[in-house]
Structure 1
Amino acid sequence: MTLLCFASKKYGEKVVLVDDEESYSYSRLFTESQKLALCLRKEVQIGSNSKVAFLSKNHASLVKSIFATSRLGAELFFVNTQLSKNQFQQLIEFHKLDVIIYDDEFTTLIEQSNFQGVKIKTYHEHLPAINNFLQVIDPEFYRIPRTSSSKLTLFTSGTTGVPKKAIHKPTLFNYLNPFISFIDRLKVLNYHTAYIATPIYHGYGMAILLLFIPLGKKIIIRRKFDAAESCNLIREHRVEVITVVPTILKRLIETNKNDLKSLRCIASGGAKLNQKLINDTIGTLGKVLYNLYGTTEAGLNFIATPEDLIYSTSTIGKPIDGMKLKVLDLNMEEVEVGKVGQICIRNTWSMRNSEYRWIETGDLGYHDQNGYYFLGGRIDDMIISGGVNVYPSFVEQILTQHPSIEDAAVIGIDDDEFGQRLNAFLVIAKSASTVTKQEIQEWLRTKVSKFELPKEIEIVDELPYSALGKLDRKQLRHMSTQK
């Protein structure tokens, strides 16, 4: 709310937010968020000890609710809208939530749980809802005591099990380094209109929202992503900055490249960019693609500029200022240049609920002699084949260099002789439908070691990705066992 208050005074009637229904000026967004805070305090008794969850798509009611409940000092829980019934039930039981602010489409999910707290819809014609709360009372008679107790709780994607939480304290001073690095490396001050195509409930979408508001930018959001509609939005509003995950970027380029000509900064995060997509984007739109690496626990930590991606399409770039990092082997010893280890991070903007100052990201990676960092996949994805460590992510990068392969995913499977071998799932380009598995095997044989050569290759129509663009390896393993 402090950021929004500052922006309201500075930018006034300038448009800040455009959703599916209407536009908001900075002044209106601040005034309505303040009034909503007062109404929620009086009608629902939300305060500094309250736990408030959001189960919502991207729209103005969500944005106002975030500012209002944060102003009241509540702990804010951002729930992935893709959670299963069982995952949502576990979240309810473990965190003892007081209030859920939710879209109507998630009513069944909530009603099937044992949640006993206050339920508030984001929109409704006549029932109590965020869009109706402003009409309940005249908030001029109430004042809210100042508080700094608010916390933002984000969750990991949960594709491999129960989502884990990461608590962040939204203190402006803690976030100066990523804030400044983002502005500087992405040249954000040069642009005026941004489109957040990623979910706000994800740490990435939330961070971009809070970064753009104090800079006086116009922010466009939509409840759901539709490639054709998004292309029209970009053309209509002459969008210069867009936040994407790789699957969103791929769909935009496939739908209408000409509508994307206004883009000057494509900020991709949340999942791995493959070489073909990077080359296609740069070849079509120029040097506009940025690769952002962060984690739910540790926040934003690496930025690869277009020049960095030209240096290497595999790099996540260089660390941002103000962070410390180590690449450690299994014995927790730092590895030398070029050797793979776990990336461990320490910074002021990481989660506040960790017992340790160093955060083990669970991501494998290495750095080269020029200070560029590269990912080697997740620790859980690494397999040991014939006593040799094999990184599926590396083999995936090689496979996507084949001119007939559009996308690739590699998992480990049990093998009697080697302990584990690789199983590759490939999406073949429509123009190359005649390519055979044997041809791909022979091509790959000259580029990887025998332990990295897949035992099996499967041709599929598409790979399973989450709404956040993360490859669902659990689903791939299920597909492998169903053969």
Structure 2
Amino acid sequence: MGMLKLAQVMRKMGMLSPLGLFRLIAAICRYGINVMALLRITERTYGEAVAIADDSETITYRQLLVQSEELSISLRENYGIRPGSKAALLCRNHASLVKSVFASSWAGADLYLLNAEMSQDQLQDLITAYDFDLLIYDEELTTFIKQSTYNKGKLLSYHDVRPAVNNQKTDGISNARPSWHRTSSGTIMLLTGGTTGKSKKVPHRPSLFHYLNPFYTLLERLHLVRYHTGYIATPIYHGYGIAILLLFVALGKKIVLTSGFDASKACALVREHQVQVATVVPLMLDKMLKHNAEDMRSLACIASGGAELNPKLVAEVYARLGDVLCNLYGTSESGLNIVATPEDLRQSAHTLGRKIDGMPLFVLDEDMNEAKPGVVGQFCVQNYLSRAERSKRWIETGDMGYRDSDGLYYLCGRADDRIVSAGENVYPIELEHILIHHPQVEDVAVIGIPDETFGQRLKACIQPTPHSEVNAEQLMVWLRVRAARYQMPKEIVLVEEIPYTHLGKRDKKKLL
């Protein structure tokens, strides 16, 4: 089955021809099994096509390959990076970050993608825990790094004079073939845990067969082969961002990047580059629509992930841009698991979509047995790959939800968001889905609070639409005929703005 899916993917990418097979074999012979081999195959096909367009430069796939090679040689010769070394990237989205990913992989280093929005204490914890051998970082973070105890190799992402990724040159290396060039890729470490809490590392060693099913599903359901230009609005240091980056590179797309998200700039980039496919979190999409939906007319596919879509946003996209919205669900630990096509979201604006064929995702009850359709349980992935936790049969995502009889999956929220009110399991997301349909509700977040009588009750925090005069009492009256008894909140409070994390998730801790 794995070989059949491999053949299907290679056929879609035009790699089953004699020339395509030759390029695949030649790339592996030159670089070994790592993502630099992927870049080499793409360069052989799309060499003079634009690979990256960011705030500082526009480079072709040939330039990306040569500059990544030069950087990889420099990392080894000047910074001692070898297989087993730990290279950390503390960067926002730009071409130097992309070059560093390929260069570090070719050198065989374990690559740590650090959250550029992290706190000082979290950076120090990571330095103490992992003892990085090299830190590649953006210049504006210099003071931030100096305030830590880090004292090993450092390299700026961009600089005109000081050593930086953009000025690492070694004459003639693109034709050199020293024996160390053929390496196996190091592990890509994704660090979860937000911006202030303790991070947990999630290792991903690039594995051809592990990624075949998600890769094929994205090609099939999102029709990515059709499009020439993609905009990655989500941070590449996040699992969602790095996965889409490598997918776009494999397909030879023009990849548009910018450092940080601003709705006005994002809309301008989509219009300027005539972007056809964009990866966003729902909060980004909402802000772009509010700023200028006309700038987004070139988009044929909007892939939303990283946080749940609300049905009001789904309806607005369809009304203003047509059937272009898709939803991606996955976790840092288990990767991409569920995809919703525009047709799925037309069927139900609440759905996560349908499971990727071959992915060992199950909805399990509290006894770790598979739940029947319509019964809420935890999304769990059968553990075939984790070497660090071989004794664990299941990877528990912490997300609660269910599958309906038609094969569509639905999210009910995080396990730690669930409350028990008078013995009844209550999920805040259910009340959020009801309240967001009120015409004077702009945004909503629901949390659990203690209650002397019921143990716990819900509290709804409402961000009204601009110039709205709605009050909490009116919202309570509106809710009584729409919500079940156990879903009715103990209180409703109006807030100026619902807080979000930099990754577009509601920051409910700030509402407690």
SS of the residue aligned with 1:91?
helix
Give the AA of the match of 1:439. Answer: Q
1:373 matched to 2:418? The reply is no
Q: Is the Cα contact below 8 Å between 2:121 and 2:196 reproduced in 1?
A: no
Q: Is the Cα contact below 8 Å between 2:106 and 2:181 reproduced in 1?
A: no
Q: Which residue of 2 is the match for residue 26 of structure 1?
A: 61
Q: Deviations over 1:322-376 (max 9, x none)?
A: 212221122222222111110001376x665443342110000001111100000
Whole-angstrom CA distance in 2 between matches of 1:4 and 1:335: 42
Q: Is the Cα contact below 8 Å between 1:297 and 1:351 reproduced in 2?
A: no
When the two structures are superposed, what TM-score results if normalisation uses the length of structure 1?
0.95
1:277 matched to 2:313? The reply is yes
Shift in alpha-carbon separation, 1:121–1:351, aligned structure 2, 3 A:
farther
RMSD: 1.6
1:91 matched to 2:126? The reply is yes
Q: Which residue of 2 is the match for residue 199 of structure 1?
A: 235
Whole-angstrom CA distance in 1 between matches of 2:465 and 2:401: 29
Whole-angstrom CA distance in 2 between matches of 1:159 and 1:225: 17
Q: Which residue of 1 is the match for residue 345 of structure 2?
A: 309
Map 1:327-366 to 2 at 5 A: 327-346=363-382, 353-355=388-390, 356-366=392-402
1:180 matched to 2:207? The reply is no
1:476 matched to 2:511? The reply is yes
Q: Which residue of 2 is the match for residue 481 of structure 1?
A: none
Q: Deviations over 1:362-404 (max 9, x none)?
A: 0000011111000000001111111111101111111111111
Shift in alpha-carbon separation, 1:159–1:129, aligned structure 2, 3 A:
closer
Q: Structure 1 residue 149: deviation in Å? A: 4.3
Q: Deviations over 1:67-125 (max 9, x none)?
A: 00000110000111111111111111111211111001111221111122211111122
Give the AA of the match of 2:44. Answer: K
Match of 1:258 among 287, 294, 310: 294
Match of 2:498 among 440, 463, 467: 463
Give the AA of the match of 1:458. Answer: V
How many corresponding residue pairs?
A: 474
1:48 matched to 2:89? The reply is no
Give the AA of the match of 1:444. Answer: L
Q: Deviations over 1:12-62 (max 9, x none)?
A: 111111111221111110011011111111000101110111100111111
1:17 matched to 2:52? The reply is yes
Structure 1 unmatched runs, 5+: 478-483
Q: Is the Cα contact below 8 Å between 1:34 and 1:68 reproduced in 2?
A: yes
Match of 2:70 among 35, 42, 50: 35
Whole-angstrom CA distance in 2 between matches of 1:380 and 1:361: 11
1:439 matched to 2:474? The reply is yes
Give the AA of the match of 1:275. Answer: P
Q: Deviations over 1:176-228 (max 9, x none)?
A: 11111001100111111111111111111111110011211111001121211
Shift in alpha-carbon separation, 1:369–1:247, aligned structure 2, 3 A:
same
Q: Structure 1 residue 273: deviation in Å? A: 0.7
Structure 2 unmatched runs, 5+: 1-35
Q: Is the Cα contact below 8 Å between 2:115 and 2:195 reproduced in 1?
A: no
Map 1:154-303 to 2 at 5 A: 154-158=190-194, 161-303=197-339
Map 1:348-427 to 2 at 5 A: 353-355=388-390, 356-427=392-463
Give the AA of the match of 2:444. Answer: A
Q: Sequence identity, in percent?
A: 50
SS of the residue aligned with 1:97?
coil
